[in-house]
Amino acid sequence: MNIFAEIFTPSNCRFIVLGLLTTLLVSVATVFFSVLFGSFLALCRNYEKKLLGKAASVYIEIFRSTPLLLWILVCVFLLPLGTSLIRGALALTLYTSSVIAEIVRGGLNSIDKGQFEAARSQGFNFVQTLVFIVLPQCFKRIVPSLMSQIITTIKDTSFFAQFAIGEFFFNTKNLMSSLPHDGVKISTAHIFTIFIFIALVYFVINFSLSCLVRRVSKSDPDYELHLEQ
């Protein structure tokens, strides 16, 4: 019990919460912009076979075939904009967009091609068909895969710790170096407690998201089909 009191002091808890809020904020922003950009890439790759389509294909294949840590390294040290946190979030967004693009493209390819003809017969143009008919069905079908990627994105923010960016993993792990300055003689028990706490917090957040999406998706009669896809 004394170990918990030594680690989770009020000042340390504030430091941990600040890191957790940073992780959640970066994750939300990354997912939001990745869904927008990834959907644009998927649409270009699927329906525009010329310059934009080829550019989208190259972008997706490059980012999906290279490590995320490499892109964080490139953005943090080479891009002359904002703070390290912003540059790291940009790298995570660029990488996650390529993954979400393929998820969205899979959803688009699962839509019956006959729906385009049916929409055309009702007076819809191509863009209207995509916006009002195809994309809503697409996103409904990819919810499980999309949620899986959101969970991965939350965990991927831990890469920022390699660059001393103050997210949850870095701030909590950094307690190991701050405890001796508080007069605490750090032991193996302290180290295990800190890392178990980190794992538990990630588990609670991501497992809660998984339970939420399963509960929502089970109201869909095609849920099992969506999981297979």
CATH topology of domain 2-228: MetI-like fold (1.10.3720)
CA dist 96 and 33 (Å) reads 9
pLDDT in tens, 109-158: 988 888 888 888 888 888 888 888 899 999 988 988 899 999 999 999 99
Q: Which distant-in-sequence residues (6+ apart) come within 8 Å of 191 by Cβ?
A: 176
**5 burial via Cβ count (<10 Å: 0-12, 13-18, 19+):** exposed
Cα end-to-end span (Å), the chain: 48
- Give pTM, 2 decimals: 0.88
pLDDT in tens, 49-79: 789 999 999 999 999 999 999 999 999 999 8
CA dist 5 and 152 (Å) reads 32
Is the confidence at residue 226, as pLDDT, over 50? Answer: no
CA dist 115 and 200 (Å) reads 46
Is the confidence at residue 222, as pLDDT, over 70? Answer: no
pLDDT in tens, 27-46: 999 999 999 999 999 999 99
Confidence class of residue 227 from pLDDT cuts 50, 70 and 90? very low
Q: Identify the pLDDT of residue 225.
A: 44
CA dist 15 and 6 (Å) reads 14
Which helix H or strand E contains 173, and what residues bound it?
Answer: helix 168-173
